[in-house]
Structure 1
Amino acid sequence: MRLTVYLAGEIHSNWREEIKEKSKALQLPVDFVGPMEDHDRSDAIGEEILGEQPNAIFRDAAASSFNNLRTQVLMQKADLIIALFGEKYKQWNTAMDASAAVTLGKPLILIRPEELHHPLKELSRKSNATVETVNQAIKALAYIFE
């Protein structure tokens, strides 16, 4: 059995590569998908498809439409969502993706540091598993295959 795992969360650090490398080392039968990690492309995709927009608000609206389309398709095809809340970056997109996973009835592993326990308490209770580290998430993923 092979699983497709959607990796939701900030795109500025290498946490996805860490998960991919550790999964490969354990020979887990998983394929990973996730948001567009090229921030400039993500911001520009609306204008690439629709043409130049009259201002930044319209530019963001156009880009978000296509980013939401991409996310929805990939999430619906995923068997499992892993959402990481880091300590450094704003986490609005992570919250949106984790909430979408819950709404879609997708199994969800939430990674969040202890410091974010309180602000994420409701979302943690809606997830299937809440962990504090990438290593713990890998162990949870590996357990599925035992």
Structure 2
Amino acid sequence: MNDQDNAFDIDLASGIAAFECKQFSRAVGLLAPLAEQGQVEAQYRMAIMAQNGLGMLPNPLMAYSYMKSAAKAGLGLAQHGLAFMYMEGECTDKNPAKAVEWFKRAADQGLVGSLTTLAMMYEQGHGVAQDLDEARRLYRLAGFDER
């Protein structure tokens, strides 16, 4: 590891720590350059801050862009976040079918929230054809017992 990689890792760790401690202005300062360089953990946190106006003015376009980049790179939490954006029409146009697609990707990584939301979407026929058997299967995978 060279000095540049080491500084990159320190900035990422410090930025994540600042985010977790709700020091959002500091987190933005540390994570923004890393997000621009394609660091997915930084992109995900920048998306959350941009979406909610934490440490910066709300910036829906930036939030969507960073969330989508991190989701495409395979970060499960970002896939869930992007799916939620599509489901609710936050930072992008409402698109339940795309929400289902991204919830499936996050669910494949074992995210219980994604499994549960996907089960509800199948149960209600929201963004996907109603399929109660699939809904029950997904609820079971998420750890819910039969009712």
Do they superpose with TM above 0.5?
no
Length-normalised TM-score, structure 1? 0.32
Larger radius of gyration: 2
Greater strand fraction, Structure 1 or Structure 2:
1
Length-normalised TM-score, structure 2? 0.32
Report which structure shows greater RCO (CA 8 Å, sep ≥6): 1
Greater helix fraction, Structure 1 or Structure 2:
2
